[in-house]
């Protein structure tokens, strides 16, 4: 198993297959929830949106429907070129940069989206400081994090090896846990990349300290953790799709309880920059 030299290297090696999620119920479920989150905010008139970690533009496509300006920022140039090819329009601007050094002036955006990205940021405080800096007062910030307090017992049973066991144990008492995420490159060779999982309460306090108010929260992949994440995320299986669909209503009910939301694989947040900060 090869460990990528950097996040950019990891995604460069899977750039041709990055957005081929059809048939993989794990990613279909996650991006369905992403799309719902973004669509719920498209009714509000926000003329300028920044999609941080836009990748190949899987979520950016929704922003194109509003015909307002969207900026897609990503560290991996090859993914960004794919997005640029999809949205060859004056409404979309691709920017190759890091989230910890966003090349825009203060209060430049009315809406900021950051999905399936913050887990790759080692200096999360610097990233949030930059996001807060460029967000207008009253502006929206939509994002997700992987929870360190997950229910997936396969981590404790050695399904992810020593690294998985250590990260699961650390997640019981640490605010931030490093985990080597496993995937495949374009040649279907196994590859790893360092990622970070967060204690939800810690992250919510951190976001609040930068001036954001949390107005919505939802857990994704709660009941589906009866199937190991490693199997789901790398399997194109009709059988798993059937199981995931049957568990959707259960997930909806579990989201009525903060305890279950905090123990989901991913937690989606809707935030607003406070006017008086």
Mean pLDDT, the chain, rounded, equals: 88
pLDDT of residue 153: 74
The string of pLDDT tens digits covering residues 87-105 is 877 688 899 999 999 999 9
| Measured distance CA(35)–CA(58) in Å, rounded | 9
**For residue 64, pLDDT beyond 90:** no
Rounded Cα–Cα distance for residues 99 and 62 (Å): 21
What sign for the dihedral angle of Cα 234, 34, 259, 141? positive
3-state secondary structure of 21: coil
261, containing H or E segment = helix 258-262
Percentage of the chain modeled with pLDDT above 90: 50
Q: Domains in the chain and their CATH numbers?
A: 7-148+197-273 (3.40.50.150)
pLDDT of residue 204: 97
Q: How confident is the model at residue 277 (pLDDT cuts 50, 70, 90)?
A: low
Please report which helix (H) or strand (E) contains residue 114, including its range.
Answer: strand 109-114
Mean pLDDT of all residues in 228-252: 82
State the pLDDT at residue 46: 63
| Model-wide pTM > 0.95 | no
Q: Is it the case that residue 273 has pLDDT exceeding 90?
A: yes
């Amino acid at each position: 198993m090869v460990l990528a030299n950097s996040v950019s290297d990891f995604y460069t090696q899977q750039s041709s297959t990055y957005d081929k999620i059809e048939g993989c119920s794990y990613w279909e479920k996650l991006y369905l929830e992403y799309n719902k989150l973004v669509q719920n905010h498209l009714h509000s008139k926000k003329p300028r949106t920044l999609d941080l970690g836009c990748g190949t533009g899987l979520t950016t496509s929704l922003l194109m429907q509003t015909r307002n300006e969207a900026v897609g920022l990503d560290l991996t140039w090859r993914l960004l070129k794919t997005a640029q090819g999809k949205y060859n329009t004056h409404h979309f601007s691709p920017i190759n940069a890091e989230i910890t050094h966003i090349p825009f002036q203060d209060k430049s955006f009315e809406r900021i989206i950051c999905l399936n990205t913050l887990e790759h940021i080692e200096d999360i405080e610097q990233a949030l400081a930059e996001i807060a800096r460029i967000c207008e007062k009253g502006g929206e910030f939509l994002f997700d994090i992987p929870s360190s307090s997950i229910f997936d017992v396969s981590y404790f049973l050695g399904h992810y090896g020593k690294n998985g066991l250590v990260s699961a144990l650390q997640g019981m008492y640490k605010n931030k846990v490093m985990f080597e995420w496993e995937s495949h490159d374009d040649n279907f060779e196994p590859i790893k990349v360092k990622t970070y999982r967060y204690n939800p309460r810690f992250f919510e306090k951190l976001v609040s300290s930068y001036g954001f108010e949390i107005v919505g929260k939802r857990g994704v992949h709660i009941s589906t953790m009866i199937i190991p994440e490693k199997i789901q995320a790398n399997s194109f299986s009709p059988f798993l799709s059937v199981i995931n669909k049957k568990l959707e209503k259960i997930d909806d009910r579990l989201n009525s309880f903060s305890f279950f939301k905090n123990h989901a694989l991913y937690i989606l947040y809707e935030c607003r920059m406070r006017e008086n900060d």
